[in-house]
Structure 1
Amino acid sequence: MVLSAEESIAATPGEVFSLFGTGRGSGWVFDAECDRLAVGSAVTFNLPVGRGRHGHTVQILGRISGIVPGRRIVVAHDEPWRGRLRVAFEPAAAGWTTVRLTAQVEDGGVEWLARRCGWPAAEPEDDGTHRIGLLTSQSGPAAVSTIGCEHLAELAVDELNAEGGLDGSRVRLLVGDDATSPEVGAMEARRLLRAGCRVLLGSVTSATFTAVQHAVEGEGIPLVHAVINEGGAGPGHVFRLGERPADQLRAAATPFMRHTGARHWFLVGDDYSWSHGAHAAARVVLPERGNVIVNERYVPLGTRDFTRVIEDIMRSGADLVLSTLAGADEVAFQKQSLEMGLRDRCRTLSLLLDESTRERMGDRAAAGLWTSLGYFQQLPTRRNKELLARYREAFGRWAPPVSSMSAAVYEAVLLYAAAVRNLRGGDQQGVAGELRRLRADLPRGDVELAGPHVLRQRLHLAEARPGGFRVFDTPL
């Protein structure tokens, strides 16, 4: 299947090419955005699909893999499906340029498009495999952060199969896209369970995970929120792994305050459970360390214009910002903060700033931001070095970076497999019980599950620099 689209622009091919990705406004060269026009740069743009009232756009997240100056750009993309597309710049009459976009869509993309259009998805045949379900955000604002999660889940499944699978069966990964929507996530979770998944792993927002928990309650299979979240209670088969905001703040607040000499905070986040939980933790942890919270703001998930929020911060007297914004919201906020001069007044601690989000932001907008997470690519553990080597060998140089979120999915698959193997057969309730008391040596280091809602791990403080992070040796 091939998708194609074109635009006509009143400028020469060389002029249009040089302005590709500059974000000049809605509709300009498929709304493409990239930090710089160079091979290896992350790029985001909107691909038109369909026409008329049935038409819509699909946001593509990828990386520039080839350039013919003034004529063509090739993009290798990973979300919402994996593929390659070409953007050609062709001269037209009287100084105009025709920009043609051509995308080859393989089976995974066809299936994703069919579900997005509301067509019924074909149920996979019963092939005797041990099925693991991954619910992730292949589209919507959170896709910026979860890009790469499917890759890492596939890598873990391949490793399990190389070791003989689980319970004498090969392991098969089935993937659902929540589109950063709790309602869609609940429907996709039910679809994955109908397809025979024995565990459901989530690299989704807390809002989606809560909706999924309600949608599949009573099924009793292990339900694992693998990535960073605000925590919470639930039945024994519901697991909330990942970092916690209170732990992140305890690790970061004092070193950050000492480094900046500042202590007046403005909190900004998305208006859903993650940010509300993180800000509640901040209202406890920050004052304990001599900090003052001057104000806070919440915005709807999916916000792109932060002008008023930034103006409020500038008027507040704050000299530090705690950002709990997710995915594309965080990218937009930090870019606009740089443009409006907020960086000259305030330093920022961003709780969801990982490798994937940092590269979508670009080096200029990300430079100087601090974060605290359990995993960074720079960690010197043997398991991490082995993981990175296998990842690049499997997915190539243009695959997205391994991040705290994608590494957490890889590790969640391995933790589930360890529980199944330790039990040596048995029902899913027994697997859930085994999961509650696991210890493991993972790419992020040694971890321990202390019940279904606590993953003990070391947190690291890091500052964004061009090309990545500088990781400080500051354990929790």
Structure 2
Amino acid sequence: MARSALKIGILIPRSGPAGIWAPSCEASALLAACEINAAGGIRGREVELVLRDTGASDRSAVEAALAIVDLDAVDCIVAMVPSSARQPIRNATRGRIPFLYTPQFEGAENDPGIITIGETAEELLKPGIDWLASEKRASRFFLLGNDYLWPQRSMAEARRLIGDGGGHVVGEMEVPFGLEDHDLVLSRIRRSKPHVVLSWLLGHEAILFNRAFAASGLAAGILRFSTAIDETILYGIGADCTENLYVSSAYFSNLRSRNNDAFLEKYHQQFGTSPAPPNAFGESLYEGVHCLSGLAEAAESLRSSDIVRKLGRSAQKRTARGFETDVATGNRHPIHIAAVDGFDFRVIANR
């Protein structure tokens, strides 16, 4: 008698600011599942992905999480959702099944029922702030973010790191989702005379701001730095609006390594020559599904408590990140600092 499929619930937004990443998230998760099934599945069970749209709010994310657990009867959840939805999803599902959270986040997640595998604000910010101070002699920073958990806590971490390095925060501002008129923001930046604008704007919000910033003429004299601009957002911003723009990330699609070369080869074999652009947020689902596989195999169980204990103590068979081919589940990868050159990320430092 054939064993039943192992259902992995994939939670991603198809709308709202983060909906811009949905196509690459779906593709990356599907590729990971195909690779796992080709190797025999997870504990001998074929993997079946069940996708649910978390929408544009925390409430809709909770509704999707409840549906995927109660109606779809998934065995575990892998999610790429905004940070503000992470704990509500955990509270709603009450730890009944394993929950992996894949994208970069603010850090300091202490809930044992949530497995976070993305880079923390400190991991992404410290190399960038140090590089800006040493290579660009930057000491005056303006902090800008959307008004929710990830930017708020990341801005607090940035204030600490900037102060430790002898720099100064000369201005900061939180803005709501959907802001289209950036005149007030740009006016405050202009008056503050920063060397750098550090921003935490989610998905489509980053596109709108960076276009307005370039149109204002500020880009020639003020640097921009972000941990959350990737290939998808860059195409939206446009090549003419990226002057003096810098990014730190654990993944850029143009990085050459055995891991990424293998990932991209199979990604294009699976989805053709013009698929959804690979990027850090979408690719995090590839990491998450493979991480879950490694944890479940090592734990010989799908109980959340058993799986959590194997994080960092089990092998993850595939990754697109870093340069080491043998990695542990939840492994930390090098952080790359890149200058934006048109539609390309030109890596200028590895930390």
Q: If the TM-score is normalised by the length of the shorter chain, which range does it land in? A: over 0.9
Partner of 2:205 in structure 1?
329
Q: Counterpart amino acid of 1:394?
A: Q
**CA distance in 2: counterparts of 1:216 and 1:134, whole angstroms:** 14
Partner of 1:199 in structure 2?
76
Q: Counterpart amino acid of 1:246?
A: E
Q: Counterpart amino acid of 2:306?
A: G
Structure 1's consecutive aligned runs of 4 or more residues displaced over 6 angstroms after TM superposition are none
Partner of 2:306 in structure 1?
430
- The CA deviation at 1:328 is 0.7
Partner of 1:237 in structure 2?
113
Q: Counterpart amino acid of 1:174?
A: V
Matches within 5 A, 1:448-459: 448=328, 455-459=331-335
Partner of 2:53 in structure 1?
177
Question: For the aligned residues, what is the CA RMSD?
Answer: 1.9
Unmatched runs of 5 consecutive residues or more in structure 1: 1-126
Bigger strand fraction: 1
**CA distance in 2: counterparts of 1:160 and 1:212, whole angstroms:** 26
- The CA deviation at 1:218 is 4.1
Deviations 1:131-160 (A, max 9, x none): 001111111111224540110000000111
**CA distance in 1: counterparts of 2:79 and 2:178, whole angstroms:** 20
Q: Is the 8 A contact 1:166 1:417 kept in 2?
A: yes
Q: Is the 8 A contact 2:95 2:304 kept in 1?
A: no
**CA distance in 2: counterparts of 1:185 and 1:136, whole angstroms:** 8
**CA distance in 2: counterparts of 1:163 and 1:305, whole angstroms:** 51
**CA distance in 1: counterparts of 2:314 and 2:166, whole angstroms:** 37
Percent identity over the alignment is 27
The partner residue of 1:267 within 136, 143, 162 is: 143
- The CA deviation at 1:305 is 2.1
Q: Is the 8 A contact 1:144 1:360 kept in 2?
A: no
Find out whether 1:339 has 2:176 as its counterpart: no
The partner residue of 1:254 within 130, 133, 140 is: 130
Distance 1:412 1:346, change over 3 A: same
Instruction: Give the secondary-structure state (helix, strand or coil) at the position aligned to 2:177.
Output: coil
Partner of 1:465 in structure 2?
341
Matches within 5 A, 1:277-426: 277-425=153-301
Instruction: Give the secondary-structure state (helix, strand or coil) at the position aligned to 2:339.
Output: strand
Bigger helix fraction: 2
Q: Counterpart amino acid of 2:194?
A: A
Matches within 5 A, 1:92-111: none
**CA distance in 2: counterparts of 1:262 and 1:231, whole angstroms:** 25
- The CA deviation at 1:274 is 0.2
Q: Counterpart amino acid of 2:263?
A: L
Q: Counterpart amino acid of 2:38?
A: A
Deviations 1:224-244 (A, max 9, x none): 110010123343231122111
Partner of 2:24 in structure 1?
148
Distance 1:235 1:320, change over 3 A: closer
**CA distance in 1: counterparts of 2:8 and 2:339, whole angstroms:** 35
- The CA deviation at 1:449 is 5.3
Of structures 1 and 2, the one scoring higher in RCO (CA 8 A, sep 6+) is: 2
**CA distance in 2: counterparts of 1:235 and 1:278, whole angstroms:** 18
Moved more, 184-193 or 142-151: 142-151
Q: Is the 8 A contact 2:220 2:243 kept in 1?
A: no
Q: Counterpart amino acid of 1:330?
A: A
- The CA deviation at 1:395 is 1.0
**CA distance in 2: counterparts of 1:324 and 1:359, whole angstroms:** 18
Normalising by structure 1, report the TM-score: 0.69
Q: Is the 8 A contact 2:250 2:335 kept in 1?
A: yes
Unmatched runs of 5 consecutive residues or more in structure 2: none
